[in-house]
Amino acid sequence: MLKSMPPTELLEAIRQVHAGKKRISPEIATHLAEHYSDDRLTAREVEILGLMAGGSRNRDIAGKLFIAEETVKAHIKHILEKLGASDRTQAVAIGVRRGIIQL
């Protein structure tokens, strides 16, 4: 929803942009911050997240990637932490929403 801006704030924003500066509203900045993380997933974690999205179990992922099931569990733990997800389903949803993986 677009929120109207007080005239003085609008004028200041126009002046900033005209001077070559960037202007982002606090609402948009908050929204962007929710979707950006300093903890980026590694290539292996993205690969595992994609396999999770496809419905693969830990055992299946381990077999496909030729790694131990415990290693898969460690990667999933890191994925959940980095994405701020509470479970696999939420991690996949966040991954899709952020464009990390595609279904």
Distance set, CA 17 to CA 8, 14, 20, 31, 37 (Å): 14, 5, 5, 21, 27
Rg, Å, the chain Cα set: 20
Q: Are residues 60 and 32 both part of a single domain? A: no
The number of distinct structural domains making up the chain is 2
Residue 103 lies in a domain: no
Q: What was the pLDDT predicted at 37?
A: 58
Q: Which domain holds residue 13?
A: 1-36
30 and 50 share one domain: no
Confidence (pLDDT) at 39: 77
pTM > 0.75: no
Residues 53 and 12 occupy one common structural domain? no
Domain with residue 91: its CATH number is 1.10.10.10
Helix, strand and coil percent figures for the chain, each rounded to 5: 65, 0, 35
| Residue 102 forms part of a structural domain | no
How many helices (DSSP H) and strands (DSSP E) are in the chain? 6, 0
| Co-location of 63 and 91 in the same domain | yes
Cβ-based neighbours of 27, under 8 Å, separated by 6 or more: 3
Burial class (CB in 10 A: 0-12, 13-18, 19+), 49: buried
Walk along the chain (103 residues) and give the pLDDT tens digit of each residue: 456 778 888 888 888 888 888 777 777 766 666 666 557 999 999 999 999 999 999 999 999 999 999 999 999 999 999 999 999 999 999 999 999 999 8
Same domain, yes or no, for 72 and 93? Answer: yes
